[in-house]
Amino acid sequence: MTASDIKRTKQSGKQVINVYGYLRASTKEQNANRAKTVLETFACQQGFAIKEFAIENQSGTKLERPELMRLLKTAQNGDCILVEQIDRLTRLNPSDWCLLKRELEDKGIRIVSIDCPTSFAFLTPSKALDGVMNAINGMMIDILATFAHKDNEDRRRRQAEGIVIAKADGKYKGRVQSAKTVEKCKRAIELINSTKMTKEEASRAVGLGVATLYRYIKDSKLVGS
Instruction: Look at residue 10 and tell me whether its pLDDT is greater than 50.
Output: no
CA pair distance 104, 22, nearest whole angstrom: 14
Biggest distance spanned by C-alpha atoms of the chain: 74
Q: How many CB atoms lie within 10 A of CB 59?
A: 13
| Cα 42 → chain centroid | 19
Q: What are the domain boundaries of the chain?
A: 3-152, 179-220
* pLDDT of 84 over the 90 cut: yes
pLDDT band for 29, please (50, 70, 90 cuts).
low
Per-residue pLDDT reduced to its tens digit, 151-160: 989 988 888 8
Bigger pLDDT: 126 vs 155: 155
Q: What is the pTM of this model?
A: 0.68
Whether 7 has a pLDDT exceeding 50, the answer reads: no
Q: What is the pLDDT of residues 155-198, one digit of tens each?
A: 888 888 887 787 777 776 666 678 888 889 999 999 999 988 89
Over residues 211-223, the pLDDT tens digits come to 888 888 877 764 4
The fold for domain 3-152 equals Rossmann fold (3.40.50)
- 169 or 20: which leads in pLDDT: 20
Q: Which of 36, 51, 25 is nearest to 123 (CA)?
A: 51
Question: Rounded CA gap, 1 and 28, in Å?
Answer: 29
Q: Show the 3-state SS of the chain.
A: CCHHHHHHHHHCCCCCCCEEEEEEECCCCCCHHHHHHHHHHHHHHHCCCCCEEEEEECCCCCCCCHHHHHHHHHCCCCCEEEECCHHHHCCCCHHHHHHHHHHHHHHCCEEEECCCHHHHHHHCHHHCCCHHHHHHHHHHHHHHHHHHHHHHHHHHHHHHHHHHHHHHCCCCCCCCCCHHHHHHHHHHHHHHHHHCCCHHHHHHHHCCCHHHHHHHHHHHCCCCC
What's the pLDDT at 40?
Answer: 95
Average confidence score pLDDT of the chain = 84
Higher pLDDT, 33 or 49: 49
Looking at residue 179, what is its pLDDT?
A: 82
Q: What pLDDT was estimated at residue 173?
A: 64
10 vs 162, more confident: 162
Q: Is the pLDDT of residue 19 over 50?
A: yes
Using one digit for the tens of pLDDT, what is the confidence trace for 49-76? Answer: 999 999 998 899 999 999 999 999 999 9
